[in-house]
Amino acid sequence: TLPPIHADFYEMDQKLSVEDRTLQLKVRSFMEKEVQPIVNEYWLHDEFPFEIIPKLAQLNICGLTYEGYGCAGKSSLMEGIIASEMARTDSSVATFFGVQSGLAMGSIYHCGSEEQKEKWLPKMQKLEVIGAFGLTEPEVGSAVAGGLTTTAKKTPNGWILNGQKKWIGNATFSDIVIIWARDIDDDQVKGFIVQKDNPGFSVEKIKDKMALRIVQNGLITLKDCVVQETDRLQHANSFKDTAKVLQKTRAGVAWMAVGCARGAYENALAYTQKREQFGKPIASFQLIQNHLVEMLSNLTAMQTLVFRLSELQDSDQLKDEHASLAKVFCTLRTRDIVSKAREVMGGNGILLEYNVARFLADAEAIYSYEGTKEINSLIVGRSITGFSAFV
């Protein structure tokens, strides 16, 4: 008999309470039963499986770490575990959830007024209102901190927004989008809750992606789009406030990378135990075992790193450079793991039905979004050298 596949090699899950472990297994079961059977088909057709939303809502995990507004007030560690569990089956569904729970709800939770929180968060927590986060622009990606060209002008009739936002996850069907724009008068970045039926707001789907195909990314155009002061995030006064939201979600992306790597590793290991060549399972060959051990070593290093990252977050010690280092390390290692997973599966590794090709493709997007490897490395570089390479 073969040993069970055990991708939590250093037993990190032992650190969880019984209650948290139960929630983790509930999310795992949801992903395996509800998402796994349909995911390759949706990925292939570049569509989103809306039927999972009510079932996902029942798990009661949206806005998991926030206090009040129907949210569970749990630890960042648990939030990370859930991101990883989702990505272990599918990184697109994990991304949809991360945009909703982290980027969109997080912007309102961290930067909104009490009224704005009361108005949106309980419905977003139940996934009755879907949110998106519009920061990146067609011509401004890495340089968003100082370079946003989308403008906001205050007038007696409200704020007038003009510009474009590219790559905005969930935007094709979201009810609201948090739009980040530069205030023409004081040159500071401000955040706005823009509703989909707002005149002057339009979205075009970005088609033919080769990664995270289930995530519906949009190109948003804002043409004299009027937003009332009541929909301006009242505590977002500069890009520093935007960065506060991103610090937390970057930590979440590191956890997602762990899940993506774990899913690929588990599928690849199971395949090598079954697949026979030269009259033996390929898992019995030394070179294949070496690949598998390299994958597991990287995965284990990532798992221990993100656990510590969440401990720092839960004790309010998380700094930008902590989140950036984890995002760089985990997404880089994941790229390596998914590539090795494909390698040990030979030709079948590129077929969707063998469940590694999707991980291989999706890892590319996770590697680049929420700050590329270079940008997150420069954030760490600035903190260890004392010199900023950005300017």
For ligand FAD, the binding residues in 266-325 under the rule CB under 6 A are none
Distance CA(162)–CA(13), nearest Å, equals 47
Nearer to ligand FAD, 314 or 336 (CB): 336
Rounded to a whole number of angstroms, the minimum distance from the CB of residue 40 to ligand FAD is 18
Residue 374 is encoded by which pair of tokens? 């270079």
| Min dist. Cβ of residue 180 to ligand FAD (A) | 8
Which of 25-29's residues contact partners 24+ apart within 8 Å by CB, and which partners? 26/59, 27/59, 27/61, 27/82, 27/85, 27/86, 28/85, 28/88
Please tell me the distance from the alpha carbon of residue 106 to that of residue 245, in angstroms, as a whole number.
6
Q: Which is nearer to ligand FAD, 119 or 327 (CB)?
A: 327
Nearest to 66 by CA among 132, 14, 111: 111
- Binding flags for ligand FAD, 63-102, as an x/- string (CB under 6 A): ------------------------------------x---
x/- contact string, 205-224, with ligand FAD (CB under 6 A)? -------x--x-x-------
Q: Find out whether 219 and 166 touch, Cβ atoms under 8 Å.
A: yes
Distance CA 348, CA 276 (A): 13
Question: Of these, 131, 369, 379, 380, which contacts ligand FAD (CB under 6 A)?
Answer: 369
Chain positions 347 to 366 lying near ligand FAD, rule: CB under 6 A, are 365
In terms of CB distance, is 142 or 339 closer to ligand FAD?
142
CA pair distance 256, 366, nearest whole angstrom: 8
Spatial separation of the C-alpha atoms in residues 64 and 69, rounded to whole Å: 11
Select the residue interacting with ligand FAD from 234, 237, 289, 368 (CB under 6 A).
Answer: 368
- Give least dist CB 330 to ligand FAD, A: 16
> What radius of gyration do the chain's Cα atoms show?
21
Two tokens, residue 195: 């509703």
Q: Which member of 80, 102, 169, 263 binds ligand FAD (CB under 6 A)?
A: 169
Size of the site for ligand FAD (CB under 6 A): 21
Q: What is the dihedral sign for C-alpha 250, 252, 257, 258?
A: positive
Among 64, 161, 245, 375, binds ligand FAD (CB under 6 A): 375
Least distance to ligand FAD from the beta carbon of 90, Å?
14
Distance of closest approach, residue 80 Cβ to ligand FAD, in angstroms: 19
Nearer to ligand FAD among residue 30 and residue 42 (C-beta)? 42
Tokens of 67: 């206090």
Nearer to ligand FAD, 291 or 327 (CB): 327
What track of x and - describes contact with ligand FAD for positions 107 through 136 (by CB under 6 A)? --------------------------xxxx
Pairing relationship of beta strands 176-183 and 131-134 according to DSSP bridges: parallel
Best CA proximity match to 326, nearest among 311, 309, 338: 309
**CB 370 to ligand FAD: min, Å:** 6
Of the residues 151, 273, 339, 372, which one makes contact with ligand FAD according to CB under 6 A: 372
CB of 2 to ligand FAD, least distance (A): 37
Options 2-10, 18-26, 167-175, 311-319: segment touching ligand FAD (CB under 6 A):
167-175
24 binds ligand FAD (CB under 6 A): no
Among 63, 80, 252, 371, contact with ligand FAD (rule: CB under 6 A)? 371
DSSP-H helix ranges across 235-319: 239-274, 286-314
> Within the chain, how many helices (H) and strands (E) appear?
13, 11
Q: Say which residues have a Cβ less than 8 Å from residue 378's Cβ, sequence separation at least 6.
A: 388, 389, 390
> Footprint of ligand FAD on this chain (CB under 6 A)?
99, 133-136, 141-142, 167-169, 212, 215, 217, 365, 368-372, 374-375
